[in-house]
Amino acid sequence: MANQFRKSRRFLVVLFLVSFTCSWYFGLQISATAQIPNASYIVQQGVERYQAGDLTGAIEVWETALKSYQQNNSAQAAIVRENLARVHQQLGKPSQAISYWNQVIAYYRQVGNLQQVGRSLTEQAQAYNSLGQTKSAIALLCNPDFHNNCHTNSALQIARATSDSIGEVAALGSLGDAMRLRGDYESAIKNLDPSLALAKKLNNSTLLTSVLNSLGNAQISLALVKYRQANSAVQRGDSQEAEKLQKRAKLEDDLALSYLSESRKIARSQKDMASEMRSLLAIIPIYYRNNGIDAASSLQQATKLLDTLPDSRGRVYATIELVSLLQPNKILTPTECLAPSVLPQAESLLNQAVSVAQRLQDYRAESFALGELGHIYECRNKYPQALDITSRAKLAAQQDLKAQDSLYLWEWQTGRILKAQGKTSEAISAYEQAINTLESIRSDILTANRDIQFDFRDTIEPIYRDLVALRLNNEQPVQTASKSLISKSKDNFRFILKTIDSLKLAELQNFFGNDCIITAVPQAVDTTSNSTTAFLNTIVLSDKTAVILSLPKGERKLSWISINRQELVNKINEFRRGLERFRDDYDTTLAQEIYNWLIRPFAKDLSGIKTLVFIQDGILRSVPMAALYDGEKKQYLIQQYAIATTPSLNLTDTRPLNQERLRVLALGLSQAATVDGKTFPPLSNVDQEITEVTQKMKGKKLLNHEFTISGLKKELSQTVYPVIHIATHGEFGSEPQDTFIVTGNNEKLTFTELERQIRSVTRSQLELLTLTACETAVGDERSTLGLAGVAVQAGARSALASLWAINDASTVQIVTDFYSKLLSERNVTKAQALQAAQTALIEDKQYSHPYYWSGFILIGNWL
């Protein structure tokens, strides 16, 4: 499946990607009005320079003309500003373009030219799209209300009110682009389809080229989602589901190819080389995913077409993209290399890109071109030259305040080169610089564009892990640690844990695409504040896994699991499957092995500890620690310690539970349901579960037909519920839109929408969100991210959730025992209440199998 998951280095950052996939619905054409008979000679001179490809010269001329026009000819000044906005956009300077559009829009509003207001809003929205600022773009284009109706002052409504069909096509198309960039591909297509129909009716070649290109890119996005889901299905061993998803992905690819081919054909007939290149660069990866024959000829055509493009940022980026496409059927991440046979051509093309960027004085584009060139030398093991060129890339990035998202890449590249040279201390410094740069731009890089979400693993995560690995190599494991190294190790461990916690925060922000909801709590958890609580971090590296224990007095201990990542994944998945095979006698062999990895090295250190809080990494998030087994004492871990897990200490609010104010809203679905073509069977014990929960705690229940999205919102707006208990089918998928619960009228309520419902009407923070029938897929590491972040996303201090659905009376028992303990004993913690409920089931022969009790995990605040 390698050729189906081909990734190119162009997906390194948001703005770099957007330059290729956003369409320009007014073609970035200079306004014809600028050439009317009474236009000044100097304005016409600028038009001629533009047409000759001298964009910088055109700007200089028009800026001179603007000084005289703005004194006595506001209409001509507006036209010149339109031209300046479009050329700045074409040069890759959207911020300047936005500034000019503000002035243009203000003028047209003043003179009452609504049609031009609408069109200018659309072009300004396109500039925001190119910056990755899709919220601003959507606000200008539609600004939808709660019912998704566009505001009267939006570009789309203005176009419709003024019967401006061209403006309507452009607004719908730009809205489609914005929806795609934020990851809402279905909504993107819903806007692009009517845009295409109207463009065909108008028979406007410029509009057809743009909207077909946009549709092609939207279909590619859908295809890539299906390929990723197919890959997840393969990892969890579901070959039938994988085959089905691959077929759906292929259909999306075929549709994308038809749209892009038609766009390219029209662009070629209009001699619009830039649009033709844009379509061609999108087509080649589709050919690579499906067959290599057409890819080779398309690559040759793109190389020839490149020479016809005028100097612009777009040409530089197209060149870099072309370099990434020189090697077929290869997954290219920032650390991987092109084949030696194509390196000479790649070097030649990148030198051309550097020259173009330097002529334009475009530091951002120059930074990317130099950085890629430096990587070529890194791949050739020519480290001194690689360092020199990479330093020039960093210098270029530092000249442009908006190029920080390229700067971190070249700081990382510097670290890799220094590491390869054996200069560990210098490499660590370079990695730290890269992370500091990343932290300063994390909100833009992590959430602005859903199209690069899966490239997080290739372009951001490795930096944190590489740095942690370099620092961990300086530490001795618990078995051999020397007392003389403790004080030095404290600072190193503190830095390691801070770095990995920052990664966990970034990982969740990236998954949910929201850095406003997923934010660090004001005060970090003090791991030394409770004398009976210890924290256990796992850090999965490629060749081994680190286990770090943090003890109450501030002491930290290190142990290693000496198997590679894939071996760990296989073991953990096997352990998880064994836990779910409830019809078989339970074999504790794997549970003991994992206990020996994680717990036994610290046996002496854990004396006096009553609660263990796990901050897990990767595949380890998908299994319950409660089921680990001490073969010597013949006890499960939950029988020794109260257990909780948290995705990140930065996200954990550790204020203790207020037992006095607990009130529950209990939601349940016991009937069969069908969502998105998938049938969910009845949950026969839900009626009893919901009844007993509301008997244990004051509150209200909404069961079956009463449990609707509107009913939930109404109830939350009327009463404060510190506890929300949900007993219904739910899934944690590899995409946020596949992470949902099922309501009583066959509605799919995503956790993103649930979060909106809770936060929009709830006046105080949730104490606890309980989910008793949800499940995560075995082996799907992405789905465990949704589970790990469920409490944070919903605005709850804690979540009690199931890793797999258990349609049995045991669920009723464990839930009611948990609430009973929580309400009846003063100062009992949530972790202790869950421990009591789970150990009670272990002692019940009917439910002693871990299937019945271990799948419930406490996430977040354990107090």
Section 261-270 average pLDDT: 96
**Is pLDDT above 90 for 705?**
yes
What CA–CA distances, in Å, run from 471 to 47, 336, 489, 493? 58, 23, 10, 8
pLDDT of residue 645: 96
Confidence of residue 615 (pLDDT cuts 50, 70, 90): very high
Would you tell me how many other CB atoms lie within 10 Å of the CB of residue 118? Answer: 28
Give the amino acid at 401: L
Residue for token digits 């279909």? 219
Residue for token digits 């990995």? 500
- Report how far residue 598's alpha carbon sits from residue 607's, in angstroms, rounded to the nearest whole number: 15
**Is pLDDT above 70 for 100?**
yes
Q: Which two tokens stand for residue 652?
A: 């954990």
**DSSP state at residue 824:** H
Confidence of residue 86 (pLDDT cuts 50, 70, 90): very high
Residue 859: Cβ-neighbour burial (10 angstroms; 0-12, 13-18, 19+) = buried
**DSSP state at residue 699:** E
**Is pLDDT above 90 for 41?**
no
Contact present, 164 and 115 (Cβ < 8 Å):
yes
Contact present, 182 and 221 (Cβ < 8 Å):
no
Confidence of residue 450 (pLDDT cuts 50, 70, 90): very low
pLDDT of residue 849: 96
pLDDT of residue 245: 92
Residue for token digits 């589901």? 241
What does the CA dihedral 556, 562, 567, 568 come to, rounded to 10 degrees? -10
pLDDT of residue 445: 61
Interval 169-208: pLDDT, tens: 999 999 999 999 888 898 999 999 999 999 999 999 999 9
Give the amino acid at 765: Q
Helix, strand, coil abundance in the chain, percent, nearest 5 = 65, 10, 30
Which of residues 595 and 399 earns the better pLDDT score? 595
Contact present, 192 and 215 (Cβ < 8 Å):
yes
Contact present, 381 and 364 (Cβ < 8 Å):
no
Would you tell me how many other CB atoms lie within 10 Å of the CB of residue 110? Answer: 11
Interval 236-262: pLDDT, tens: 778 898 999 999 999 999 999 999 999
Q: Which two tokens stand for residue 512?
A: 């949910």
What CA–CA distances, in Å, run from 339 to 15, 327, 332? 27, 7, 11
- Report how far residue 70's alpha carbon sits from residue 86's, in angstroms, rounded to the nearest whole number: 19
Which of residues 669 and 360 earns the better pLDDT score? 669
Contact present, 743 and 709 (Cβ < 8 Å):
yes
Contact present, 642 and 674 (Cβ < 8 Å):
no
Give the amino acid at 161: A
Lowest-confidence pick of 588-602, 779-793, 808-822: 779-793
pLDDT of residue 815: 96
Give the amino acid at 816: T
Q: What are phi and psi of 645, to 5 degrees?
A: -135, 150
| Radius of gyration for the chain, computed over Cα atoms and rounded to the nearest angstrom | 29
- Report how far residue 155's alpha carbon sits from residue 149's, in angstroms, rounded to the nearest whole number: 13
Interval 58-78: pLDDT, tens: 999 899 888 877 666 788 889
Q: What is the SS3 assignment for 148? A: coil
- Report how far residue 720's alpha carbon sits from residue 224's, in angstroms, rounded to the nearest whole number: 42
**Is pLDDT above 50 for 136?**
yes
**Is pLDDT above 70 for 469?**
yes
Interval 204-239: pLDDT, tens: 999 999 999 999 999 999 998 899 888 878 877 788
pLDDT of residue 21: 54
Q: Which two tokens stand for residue 190?
A: 């819903």
Interval 683-695: pLDDT, tens: 999 999 999 999 9
What average pLDDT is seen over the chain?
A: 87
The answer for residues whose C-beta is within 8 angstroms of residue 529's C-beta and 6 or more apart is 552
Query: Strand 766-771 and strand 723-727: pairing?
Result: parallel
**Is pLDDT above 50 for 8?**
no
**Is pLDDT above 50 for 563?**
yes
pLDDT of residue 482: 43
Q: What percent of the chain has pLDDT over 90?
A: 61
**Is pLDDT above 90 for 577?**
yes
**Is pLDDT above 70 for 35?**
no
**Is pLDDT above 70 for 453?**
no
Where residue 436 falls (left for φ over 0; alpha for ψ -120 to 50; beta otherwise) is: alpha
Q: What percent of the chain has pLDDT over 70?
A: 89
Contact present, 525 and 863 (Cβ < 8 Å):
no
The answer for residues whose C-beta is within 8 angstroms of residue 285's C-beta and 6 or more apart is 6, 8, 220, 325
Lowest-confidence pick of 419-428, 584-593, 752-761: 752-761
Contact present, 199 and 162 (Cβ < 8 Å):
no
Confidence of residue 15 (pLDDT cuts 50, 70, 90): very low
Section 312-324 average pLDDT: 91
Q: What are phi and psi of 472, to 5 degrees?
A: -65, -30
**Is pLDDT above 60 for 530?**
yes
User: Half-sphere exposure of residue 809, counting CA atoms within 13 Å on the CB side?
Assistant: 3
Contact present, 627 and 835 (Cβ < 8 Å):
no
Find how far residue 527's CA is from the centre of its chain: 29
pLDDT of residue 33: 43
Residue for token digits 């670290």? 415
**Is pLDDT above 60 for 483?**
no
Section 549-561 average pLDDT: 93
- Report how far residue 261's alpha carbon sits from residue 305's, in angstroms, rounded to the nearest whole number: 16
pLDDT of residue 90: 82
Lowest-confidence pick of 142-146, 388-392, 639-643, 771-775: 142-146
Section 543-549 average pLDDT: 96
Lowest-confidence pick of 122-131, 592-601, 648-657: 648-657
How long is the chain?
863
- Report how far residue 473's alpha carbon sits from residue 810's, in angstroms, rounded to the nearest whole number: 46
Highest mean pLDDT, choosing among 5-14, 51-60, 312-321, 602-611: 602-611
- Report how far residue 431's alpha carbon sits from residue 758's, in angstroms, rounded to the nearest whole number: 39
**Residue 619: closest CA among 571, 561, 560:** 571
